[in-house]
Amino acid sequence: MSWSRCSKALAVASLLLIAAVAPVAAVSTSADGVPSESQVGSEVSGTYEFTDLYSDYETWTLHGETNLTGVTWTVRKLDQAGNQISQNSYDGQSFNSSVDISENTAKVVVRVRGTTPEIANFTYDPAQQYTFARFQLLRTGGSNQQITDTSVDYYTNSSKMARQEIRAAADVVEASGSSQAETTLGNAISAYNGQNFELAVELANEAESQAQQAQQSQNTMQLLLYAGIGLVVLLLVVGGVYYYRSQQDDYDKLR
């Protein structure tokens, strides 16, 4: 199995696991401006809109949490016509805001803004992620229901460069079928997981070089094989022509 297929399989398995253990609320959600990845220490933001607020309950609490640091949540409540009812800001990695049908709230808009956190453990596969924003529906004395959960890849300059080199090498290694290159690529991934990104880059480049050499050797062997087959065919043709001519000469002598 290739590294890319393995990553996709793990991602699907994770989503299935989340769906299996957390009941999902019927609240509709859309997101805007949420990054697919972010660099450690960079400031990021995203906006979530929540509608169909009362499909399950007429009164509940919207709970939000994140792994971002230096966080500010801006929560706006709008009525059916889109007019703003209220706006509140919360600092910290979590907040709670009540949702009540008696307030005529039809939509809740939440903007989260903060700084991408440090990475505690680096892993190549699956890629390290942090919780950008997770929202839940809370009921006093009742069970919590998940509304939406967004995870984002994060990186440092060194880790991103190493990942790119490993990913590029993986495609070449897979195509070559070289066991030596596969081993070297595995060592590059181990170096990445150990946060030795310089070594990871060196090993990834070495694995790619080994794969290319193996591919060239295979191509050379194929050319030699084709040349050998061509030579045999040529000899057969020449031999056939010689035999035919000798037979013709014998026939002419008999006449």
Which pLDDT belongs to residue 214?
62
Asked if residue 226 and residue 110 are part of one domain, the reply reads no
Mean pLDDT over 82-94 rounds to 97
Which pLDDT belongs to residue 13?
41
Q: Domain end: 155, 188, 214, which one?
A: 155
Which pLDDT belongs to residue 142?
78
> Is residue 188 in a domain?
yes
Q: Domain end: 99, 128, 155, which one?
A: 155
Say yes or no to pLDDT of 10 above 50. Answer: no
Asked if residue 151 and residue 26 are part of one domain, the reply reads yes
> Is residue 131 in a domain?
yes
Q: Number of structural domains, the chain?
A: 2
Beta-bridge partner residues of 48: 31, 110
Beta-bridge partner residues of 87: 76
**What φ, ψ does residue 138 adopt, rounded to 5°?**
-110, 140
Asked if residue 151 and residue 176 are part of one domain, the reply reads no
Asked if residue 111 and residue 11 are part of one domain, the reply reads yes
Say yes or no to pLDDT of 165 above 50. Answer: yes
Classify the phi-psi angles of 104: left when phi > 0, otherwise alpha if psi is within -120 to 50, otherwise beta.
left
What is the extent of the structural domain holding 25? 3-155
| Predicted TM-score (pTM) of this structure | 0.73
> Is residue 255 in a domain?
no
What is d(CA 247, CA 255) in angstroms, rounded to the nearest whole number? 13
pLDDT tens for residues 192-248?
999 999 999 999 999 998 888 866 755 555 554 554 565 555 556 656 656 556 656
Asked if residue 138 and residue 23 are part of one domain, the reply reads yes
Asked if residue 17 and residue 71 are part of one domain, the reply reads yes
Asked if residue 172 and residue 106 are part of one domain, the reply reads no
Asked if residue 219 and residue 112 are part of one domain, the reply reads no
Q: Domain end: 132, 155, 178, which one?
A: 155
Asked if residue 136 and residue 36 are part of one domain, the reply reads yes
